[in-house]
Structure 1
Amino acid sequence: MSVTAPPASVDATLELLTSRGYFAERSLATVLFLALRMNRPLFLEGEAGVGKTEIAKVLSSTLGRRLIRLQCYEGLDVASAVYEWNSSAQMIAIRLAEAAGDTDRGQLSSDIFSEHYLIKRPLLQALEPNVSGPPVLLIDELDRADEAFEAYLLEVLSDFQVTIPEFGTIKAPAPPIVIVTSNRTREIHDALKRRCLYHWVDYPNAQRELAIVKSRVPGISEKLSAQVVSFVQALREQDFYKSPGVAETIDWATALTELDARALTAEVVGDTLGALLKYQDDITRMQGDALAKLVKDATSES
């Protein structure tokens, strides 16, 4: 993987994203450029499936940096996210020392709490030096983690360091590129947001979504791609429990091409709604006349 310097302007940032098929608004490219220049974490909020996680992947690919991903979930703790000690290996070392008659407890304690027995999890890995430069650290779906873990992140995101009581403080020689995402299932505390630059990632407009579909679904026809985007855009205006994101649009467009569909029909849309809508109540609502009307509107525009 070749290493590339961070973009030198907002326009260059836009080009970098576009080169990997990520068609961003200029406002997103601007805040991303600033986060890279200022060595500040970038906090991205938005509905699931709008492309927040993809930004970290694009940065890793285009800049030639290692991608380290911490997937958040309820109950996530320091042992899973930062570090833990290899207790089994430590116990073996203690027993071997006792068998050899080594009674220097201070030296033994120093030995078993050395880096050799330290298991490094994503946050600690992100602070290590790397020959290709600081890695891209993706802290994904932080809103799923507990508030206690969110509070622990304050030291990491403000000073880019981790304190291990038995070992000492480990500080990154250069700050990693940090992308924090949230689907806003709960509010993230202001103390953490203050350490980051912020951007709300919204659903793309029709023009950008059409460009995304053409880029991500090779071979899709001009007619079908236009109808797919028109239908999805109209679908998002409905009062659903969960509107389809860009990821669902790409999945649906791919499914339609696999079925050799040339144009949308009420039948083919009804058979493939599960690629767009993930809740049965939403699928049930989008049946009969409601479905037929959206399909007619989408096909009449193309």
Structure 2
Amino acid sequence: MNEPAPGPGSPAELADALRATGYLADDGLATAAFLALRMNRPLFCEGEPGTGKTALAQALAATLDAPLIRLQCHDGIDAGQALYDWDFPRQLLHLRTLEAASGRDGFDPDTVEAGLYDERFLLSRPILQALRTSPSVLLIDEIDRADDEFEAFLLEVLTEHAVTIPELGEVRATTPPVVVLTSNRTREVHDALKRRCLYLWLEHPNIEREIEILHSRLPEVPERLAASVARAVQKLRHADLIKPPGVAETLDWARALQLIGARHLDPESAARTLGAVLKYREDADRVHKQLDTLLAS
């Protein structure tokens, strides 16, 4: 049985290690991530966009000093896009080189075919890369955008930690990758896949934690500005917007305000920098009309 890669010895140690990378984890998140590491189980992270799901995988990779390998899911993704492909242009060039060197009559079909499916022509996609890289963190981002067939394939790979390439044989991970799956819950992911994982629901941080995140990631931002940005973002998340801001937008807004010399958030500076926090014209128009209310303490 494959053993999990060594890591922090407790949830508190993991929380401290994540904090050192700039990711602030509460007790529930740190415990879920710790158990995923120690039990060698994928961590299924679900929640609204911008709640730090992808950032958690990035922070785990930094904490474990392991490469982060990302598979971005999309509508129509299939096993070939996730596993491997063959470099057909290079194979064709190789074939033409052999033909020029020996002529058609000099071909041994079996030898030529074996040469075409050599390791050097293999294009490893994210899952195969993760299985062959020890240790590694495999981020399967937005699994809810894939279809049922891809979920079934993924379940098999995550259970076996191995794939078979017909031309080369089995590839099995010596140390299984740390796997983080994320979902924005645009659809329900099947129970069979969820049962294979440990589950974690991520919320947007409360105002105290958001201020703490700002201080941790952007220590150069004045305290008053960080607090006013965090308060404003908390209100924006309850303003019935097309895309409420996530933590990344909070950081971008604070950084933008700091770069233009703002010491606190006022209507003028907020209007000038709304593009850092709002990504739809309709949202920006609505908020422009309500800046005084938004910035009221």
Query: Normalization by structure 1: what TM-score?
Result: 0.89
Question: Match of 2:85, SS?
Answer: strand
Aligned AA (2:130): A
Runs of 4+ in 1 over 6 A off after TM superposition: none
Deviation at 1:102, TM superposition (A): 4.9
Question: Match of 1:126, SS?
Answer: helix
Aligned AA (2:207): A
- What is aligned with 2:257? 256
- What is aligned with 2:203? 202
Instruction: Kindly indicate whether the alpha-carbon contact (under 8 Å) linking 1:155 and 1:162 is maintained by their aligned counterparts in 2.
Output: no
Deviation at 1:38, TM superposition (A): 0.8
- What is aligned with 2:115? 111
Match among 124, 128, 144 for residue 124 of structure 1: 128
Q: Spell out the pairing of 1:13-52 with structure 2 (5 A cutoff).
A: 13-52=14-53
Aligned AA (2:92): M
Aligned AA (1:45): E
Structure 1, unaligned stretches of length 5 or more?
298-302
Separation of aligned partners in 2, 1:85 and 1:236: 46
List per-residue Cα deviations over 1:170-197 (Å, max 9, x = no partner).
Answer: 1111100111112222222222212111
Moved more, 15-24 or 82-91: 82-91
- What is aligned with 1:291? 291
Deviation at 1:94, TM superposition (A): 4.3
Question: Match of 1:286, SS?
Answer: helix
Separation of aligned partners in 2, 1:294 and 1:107: 72
List per-residue Cα deviations over 1:183-231 (Å, max 9, x = no partner).
Answer: 2222222222121111011100111110111111232111111111111
Q: Spell out the pairing of 1:1-302 with structure 2 (5 A cutoff).
A: 5-95=6-96, 96=98, 99=103, 101-102=105-106, 104-128=108-132, 130=133, 133-288=134-289, 290-297=290-297
Question: Match of 2:221, SS?
Answer: coil
- What is aligned with 1:300? none
Question: Match of 1:198, SS?
Answer: strand
Aligned AA (1:294): L
Deviation at 1:101, TM superposition (A): 4.1
Aligned AA (1:227): S
Structure 2, unaligned stretches of length 5 or more?
none
Aligned AA (1:295): L
Deviation at 1:259, TM superposition (A): 1.2
Query: Normalization by structure 2: what TM-score?
Result: 0.90
Separation of aligned partners in 2, 1:106 and 1:240: 62
Aligned AA (1:135): S
